[in-house]
Chain A
């Protein structure tokens, strides 16, 4: 008995290639049922309104399913669609006993958080803006701020070297402020078009949160929190004109707003899981809507929404279920996918910016096994139909090939056809 090493290698590469190619082509061919939905609390009716997009159709409804026209839907969200309200001559409008003109209605804020952003490692290359520029607007700094395990470095890009005097000055400020290295998080908004600069936020080795700013060339450090919340993953400096809060923080299961006084305000985001949830926060002068949506092949709950009043008290919650026909269709699509290939090699996750090598198991083992038996029968029939072309092999070779096809399905059958006999009972030719 002799194993053909090079044929086993050919079998392996063909299997990997087909286990990647077939499922990805199948997924692209069957990805036709686009669906998305948005749930927002209406300050006019104090009830949720829903916008559902299914293919080319857009449906607007209330929470209980009453259909709305586009105009009625927009009129129920006057802060979000203030430009439409102005066009229709409905500004100023009155909500919750208060009157709002266009400027007041514009004091809104939208923040979105994706798992890709939350789970991404912070960049070691950043900038620190001059927070009090001579002119009216911020300008892009000429130098970079590098984050190493032992400290921060001020990098002069023109010279292509670390600016040692400025670095020493910066490190003195950090040491005096008690910052312990290595940093576990660093964030700054590098957009020079932002309305003002709120500096950078950094979390040190002791999990304390600091704010670092450059004011007239002087580094200013402020300890904002003695300790970030347990499970801290991410923070973003928002720098919105409303200045209601300074930053959005995410832990593995919760969201917080950090206000300018240094207080953390927990946002009750129902069902938030940083490893798979995308969250959005819509803030108006009279309340907030937080929505959480999980990434996954077929979640029964499509989106969870929580409405808060101006004092951050929960006023209403709702879970929008994924339409049953969509779930049914996806189940059948996945079952036929299992027939084609019991395993799929995937490279991308919707929750990460990295490239992986993952074996995805079948969603339905019975369908996968049925498919594998079908491909085995077809393989045997093909071999028997052309006995002259297929080399007459040992019983052991047959057993090995059949076992590989029972486990690997169509990719294994095609790989076996390409590789030929994997085991031989003949001795190696001289």
Chain B
């Protein structure tokens, strides 16, 4: 694909996301602030050592809301990106232009996946900052940050499932995609304490990777029948 085409496709994504694309970032900041204030209050009442020890011993995940921030961000960004592509037969038109269909579809997918992963990095850094501001030792903070990894993958799945659902012409397949997405999010969002997937996260990454190709299915069906 030529550089000129690539920059046009990136510009198209920017046009779609520039107005409302920042909403998940603000939501993440609000949830992190809420996490900080909650912990700050508990630590002020019970003492930091007792609070930190309670969190470590019970492996209490006090930042569980972040899972739904990732999932919500994935759904929101996918709708922003794919609805303008697919309404009023625009997708059919795009795919019949003399351009590589994989490139036309691949750019929104790449931007969506990179956006969710970047949000994951930002949220991880934000959580580490919250912990550092509260004086939590890094030994404690690191497993908490790593806990976000599968949730970030859940955000990627939410993006891909929503995008595939929007692009898919068949209603039955739309329902099947939503169901599969919900099951994956529930699998990736399952946690028992911090860094619960420490030995198995490569397998979760492996079974999540095919989702990146799923949005192409419905779209290519429009072209190929």
Q: Give A residues with C-beta under 8 Å from B.
A: 4-10, 12-14, 16-18, 20-21, 123-127, 140-144, 146-148, 155, 157-160, 190, 345, 347-348, 353-357, 391, 414, 418-420, 429
Contacts and interface: CB of A to CB of B under 8 A. Distances in A.
Contact of A357 (B134, B177, B200): B200
B12 interface: no
A9 B187 CA distance: 18
Nearest to A12: B210
A327 to B, nearest CB: 29
Contacts of B183: 17-18, 20-21
Given A9-B210, A348-B192, 13 more contacts: A6-B217, A8-B210, A9-B212, A13-B207, A17-B183, A125-B56, A125-B137, A126-B53, A144-B52, A146-B139, A157-B52, A159-B135, A160-B135
Contacts of A355: 190-192, 196-197, 200
Contact of B47 (A7, A140, A354, A418): A140
A158 B180 contact: no
Contacts of A420: 221
Contacts of B56: 123, 125
Q: Which of A7, A13, A141, A158 is the most central at the interface, judged by chain B CB atoms within 10 Å of its CB?
A: A13
Could you tell me the dominant secondary structure of chain B's interface residues? helix
Interface in B170-205: 173, 176-177, 179-180, 183-184, 187, 190-193, 196-200, 203-204
B213 to A, nearest CB: 4
Residue of A148, A347, A420 contacting most chain B CB atoms (<10 Å): A347
A140 B49 contact: yes
A141 B59 CA distance: 19
B168 to A, nearest CB: 10
Contact of B196 (A144, A155, A353): A353
Nearest to A357: B203
Contacts of B52: 125, 144, 157
Contacts of A144: 49, 52-53, 137
Contact of B214 (A6, A123, A348, A414): A6
A10 B211 CA distance: 7
B196 A354 contact: yes
A127 B53 CA distance: 8
Nearest to A426: B224
A328 to B, nearest CB: 32
Interface in B108-156: 132, 134-137, 139-140
B217 A190 contact: no
Contacts of B139: 124-125, 146-148
